[in-house]
């Protein structure tokens, strides 16, 4: 297990939950690609450090609160899959979410270069197993 990669991913969840955008940027490569749920639904990718900043801003526009608590970490080479609990409250709509989800991180030199979110945690684990 690449403890350094797992630690980077763990710190990214802490930074996201604290809305510490600068820390997220520091943990990511300048050419990173993020495909969270919203981006996938809209057919887009958040690219680079500015994309990360835009992603966090978009999250804050849509959600009064959005938190991901990682539960299980699985790593393989330069990839880490995480199963976590997502809790959220929609801004204006008061829609509440409390579910499990999966996330696959690709890392380069212990920095995040790609992130893909999965509403089905098993799909994230399958993604990790396929490479």
Query: Running along the chain, 131 residues long, what does each successive block of 10 average in pLDDT?
Result: 89 96 97 92 94 93 91 94 94 90 96 96 92 66
Helix (H) or strand (E) holding 14: helix 3-18
Question: Torsion angle of alpha carbons 104, 119, 71, 33, nearest 10°?
Answer: 30
Task: Let me know if 81 is exposed, middle or buried by CB neighbors in 10 A (0-12, 13-18, 19+).
Answer: buried
Provide the token pair at 10. Answer: 């763990």
The CATH fold assigned to 3-129 is Nuclear Transport Factor 2; Chain: A, (3.10.450)
């Amino acid at each position: 297990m690449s403890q350094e990669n797992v630690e980077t991913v763990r710190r990214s969840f802490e930074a996201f939950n604290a809305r510490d955008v600068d820390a997220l940027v520091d943990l990511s490569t300048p050419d990173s690609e993020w495909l969270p749920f919203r981006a996938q639904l809209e057919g887009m990718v958040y690219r680079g450090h500015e994309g990360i900043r835009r992603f966090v801003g978009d999250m804050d526009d849509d959600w009064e609160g959005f938190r991901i608590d990682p539960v299980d970490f699985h790593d393989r080479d330069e990839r880490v899959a995480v199963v976590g609990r997502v809790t959220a409250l929609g801004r204006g709509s008061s829609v509440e979410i409390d579910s499990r989800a999966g996330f696959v991180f690709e890392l380069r030199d212990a920095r995040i270069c790609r992130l893909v979110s999965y509403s089905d945690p098993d799909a994230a684990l399958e993604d990790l197993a396929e490479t």
